[in-house]
Amino acid sequence: MTEPVYAKILKYALYAAFVVGIIFVISLPFMLESYIYLIHGTSNINPQYRAFIIPFLLGVGVLSLWAILEMVMMLRSIAENPFVLRNVKALYRIGVLALVLSVAFTVKCFLFFTILTMFCAFLFTGAGLFAFTLAALIRQSIVFREENELTI
């Protein structure tokens, strides 16, 4: 079976997102200084904010890269058989990562509130719950397929 076109497009988009994400995570401290200077006209900002935001963004970046890598690994199985336990475990890990990111953004809401931070917290909560639901659906389809193979 050949790989569908949408899977190829998605796979290359995820590869590109992974590469760009690595570049952003590596260059984050330098980019953040330039961004702060560009927006505020000075690099003198609250030291507590700087001490929080750099580790926060690095952590969020690394967890996001991990989720992207899990999705890339899942897409490799689409051409053969997407209903395998490996994909269920990957979706479960993505769900956990999304909920951890949701908690991180919720904590940031209490410390340094922005509307976008609140939106990200809700978005990652929904993504985590969706990943858990999809994992349960694929797990059940594996069970049905195995039962069907036994009856034939």
Q: What CA–CA distance (Å, rounded) separates 106 from 119? A: 10
User: What are the pLDDT digits (tens) for 91-149?
Assistant: 999 999 999 999 999 999 999 899 999 999 999 999 999 999 999 999 999 999 888 88
Number of compact structural domains in the chain: 1
User: What are the pLDDT digits (tens) for 15-24?
Assistant: 999 999 999 9
What is the domain extent for residue 129? Answer: 5-151
User: What are the pLDDT digits (tens) for 50-96?
Assistant: 888 889 999 999 999 999 999 999 988 877 888 899 999 999 999 99
Q: For residue 83, which of 130, 134, 129 has the smallest C-alpha distance?
A: 134
